[in-house]
């Protein structure tokens, strides 16, 4: 079945690193995504990782993928107050034509304490 | 600028009064979706459309209708709204040109049904 799990809340101090974790159940996932939702706005794609990769780094963001444990994490270095948002993990299943649906987790609300 | 627009952004209505939430994208995407976001439940897909005149149910389609008469527009119709449809609604348009699949979200429509 398809299920993406995340913890609902995370609180960190400004300047520290944040690590948001996600687990998924479907081993046929081909791409895994992190989306950011700021207050009052829609979701924006932050980054994604292909399932044959272990790590992807993009400036302050590091994505780690443990395919054996079906665990995905997003690390935000030097967390700023502007990083306060809800972060959604999502998976894409399959690679055939028409497999465009993403399954989203419930979102992790990151609060950054000044 | 590539974007997904939704209207209205906020709507308060009464039970049983038909309403339509419009969604438009300027990216020539074939695949579009509607989601609702509820506290503790995350994002749930209502309907999606693979192309003009091709629509299908998502995870929570009851009480909703959609149409796709032209590629850029994908309106969500509530024929007889009920209070349990009070929610935050997002339209999404999906780029399918690469394998990664990127969803672009609209800003959201907050609907209250009294």
Q: Which of B41, B45, B107 sits opposite A42 (nearest CB)?
A: B107
Give the E-state strand segments of A1-114 in sequence order.
Answer: 4-6, 9-13, 18-24, 29-37, 43-50, 55-58, 61-66, 71-76, 85-93, 102-104, 108-113
- Interface contact A48, partner B, CB < 8 A: yes
Q: Does the structure show a pLDDT above 50 at A14? A: yes
pLDDT band at A95, cuts 50/70/90? low
Rounded to whole angstroms, what are the CA distances from B31 to A80, A98, B97? Answer: 35, 9, 11
Residue A84 structure tokens: 């306060």
A101 neighbourhood in chain B, CB within 8 Å: 33, 45, 48
Q: pLDDT above 70 covers what percent of chain A?
A: 93
**What are residue A88's DSSP bridge partners?**
A35
Instruction: Please state, as a whole number, how many other Cβ atoms lie within 10 Å of the Cβ of residue A19.
Output: 13
- pLDDT, mean of residues B102-107: 91
- pLDDT, mean of residues A17-44: 90
Residue B30 structure tokens: 């074939």
């Amino acid at each position: 079945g398809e299920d993406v799990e995340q913890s609902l809340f995370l609180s960190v101090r400004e300047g520290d690193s944040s690590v948001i974790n996600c687990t998924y159940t479907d081993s046929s996932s081909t791409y895994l995504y992190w989306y950011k939702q700021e207050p009052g706005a829609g979701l924006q794609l932050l980054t994604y990782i292909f399932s044959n990769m272990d790590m992807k780094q993009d400036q302050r963001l590091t994505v780690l993928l443990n395919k054996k444990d079906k665990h995905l994490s997003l690390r935000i270095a030097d967390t700023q107050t502007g990083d306060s948002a809800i972060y959604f993990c999502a998976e894409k299943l399959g690679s055939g034509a028409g497999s465009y649906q993403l399954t989203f987790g419930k979102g992790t609300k990151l609060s950054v304490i000044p | 600028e590539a974007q997904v627009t939704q209207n209205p952004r906020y709507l308060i209505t009464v039970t049983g009064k038909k309403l339509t939430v419009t969604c438009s994208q300027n990216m020539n995407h074939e695949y579009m979706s509607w989601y609702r976001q509820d506290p503790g439940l995350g994002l749930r897909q209502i309907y999606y459309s693979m192309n003009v005149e091709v629509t299908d149910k998502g995870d929570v389609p009851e009480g909703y209708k959609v149409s796709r008469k032209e590629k850029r527009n994908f309106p969500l119709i509530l024929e007889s709204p009920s209070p349990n449809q009070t929610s935050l609604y997002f339209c999404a348009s999906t780029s399918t040109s690469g394998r990664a699949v990127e969803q672009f979200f609209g800003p959201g429509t907050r609907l209250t049904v009294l």
